[in-house]
């Protein structure tokens, strides 16, 4: 495991980070010449891209939410759907991407709507498996809001299935995580799933 000081964080300069050296070595192992014109800056570019794609490691849910929690006597379902997400499979380090649908039933506290996509990114911008990502988002919302219930559905396509292995281009993976009323009350769960998958009208 890397020493914490060697981790690629947003504060690092990709030019002189050990990750860029690793990319140069990778290019050589692939049979490429890292000194040819087209690849001269590739190690730095890859290090910079990975810095961005894995920035979730340096973020916390508390930081991205900040002060955007509000007391509100609202006890009907709040749903934000079609939240774009991009992540990387931890098994092959290839991208997977899709949409998250999030709903919760407040219990005296609501959160600024823009914070839900930010919570998604905290966990998506790490090496992930979709199943764990779904559970982490649901658990984070439960921990912060203590709602009556929370539901998360993620629909995604995985390049590790499309570009290699079984090479199936049209497969989609759907995962869900439910807490509170979304688990115990069938009607609440059905309403959430119906709204999450309803056709877009605008």
**Catalytic choice (26, 92, 135, 139):** 92
pLDDT at 93: 94
Told to judge if 186 belongs to the known catalytic residues of this protein, a careful annotator would answer: no
**What is the DSSP secondary-structure string of 146-201?**
--SEEEEEEEEEEHHHHTSTT--SS--EEEEEEEEHHHH-HHHHHHHHHHHTSPP-
CATH number of the domain at 65-196, please?
3.30.1130.10
Residue 46 has pLDDT above 80, yes or no: yes
Active-site residue 139, yes or no? Answer: no
Question: Which position among 17, 89, 128, 155 bears the catalytic label?
Answer: 89
Domain boundaries, the chain: 4-53, 65-196
Report phi then psi at 192, rounded to 5.
-60, -50
92 classed as catalytic: yes
Q: Among the options 26, 135, 160, 191, which is catalytic?
A: 160
Residue pLDDT, tens place only, 13-40: 767 788 999 999 999 999 999 999 999 9
- Given 6, 28, 74, 91, the catalytic residue: 91
**41 Cβ contact partners less than 8 Å away, ≥ 6 residues apart:** none
* Catalytic residue, candidates 128, 130, 136, 148: 130
Predicted pLDDT at 44: 94
Distance of alpha carbon 19 from alpha carbon 22, whole angstroms = 5
Name the active-site residue from 62, 63, 90, 131. 90
Please report the pLDDT score of residue 171 as a whole number.
85
Q: What is the pLDDT of residues 54-111, one digit of tens each?
A: 999 999 999 999 999 999 998 899 999 999 999 999 999 999 999 999 999 999 999 9
pLDDT by residue (tens digit) across 160-183? 888 887 777 778 999 999 999 999
What integer is the mean pLDDT of 140-154?
Answer: 97
Compute how many other C-beta atoms are within 10 angstroms of the C-beta atom of residue 4. 7
Average pLDDT over residues 147-153: 97
Inter-residue contact 108 to 71 (CB < 8 Å) = yes
The reply to whether 89 belongs to the active site is yes
Does residue 146 have an active-site annotation?
no
For the cut 70, the answer to whether the pLDDT of residue 48 exceeds it is: yes
Show the 3-state SS of 91-112: CCCCEEEEEEEEEEECCCEEEC
For residues 50 and 164, what is the distance between their CA atoms, to the nearest angstrom? Answer: 21
CATH of 4-53, one of 3.90.550, 1.10.286, 2.60.40, 1.20.120: 1.10.286
């Amino acid at each position: 495991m890397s020493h914490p000081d060697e981790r690629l964080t947003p504060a690092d300069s990709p030019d002189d980070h050990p990750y860029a050296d690793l990319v140069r070595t990778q290019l050589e192992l692939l049979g490429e010449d890292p000194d040819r014109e087209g690849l001269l800056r590739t190690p730095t570019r890859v290090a910079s891209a990975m810095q961005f794609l894995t920035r979730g490691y340096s973020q916390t849910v508390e930081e991205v939410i900040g002060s955007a929690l509000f007391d509100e006597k609202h006890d009907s379902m709040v749903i934000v759907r079609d939240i774009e997400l991009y992540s990387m499979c931890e098994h092959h380090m290839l991208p997977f991407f899709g949409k998250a649908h999030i709903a919760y039933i407040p219990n005296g506290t609501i959160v600024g709507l823009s914070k839900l996509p930010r919570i998604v990114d905290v966990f998506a911008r790490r090496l992930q498996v979709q199943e764990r990502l779904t559970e982490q988002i649901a658990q984070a919302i439960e921990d912060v809001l203590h709602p009556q219930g929370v539901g998360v559905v993620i629909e995604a396509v995985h390049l590790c299935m499309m570009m290699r292995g079984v090479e199936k281009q049209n497969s989609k993976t759907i995962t869900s995580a439910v807490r509170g009323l979304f688990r115990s009350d069938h009607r609440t769960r059905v309403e959430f799933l119906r709204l999450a998958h309803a056709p877009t009208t605008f």
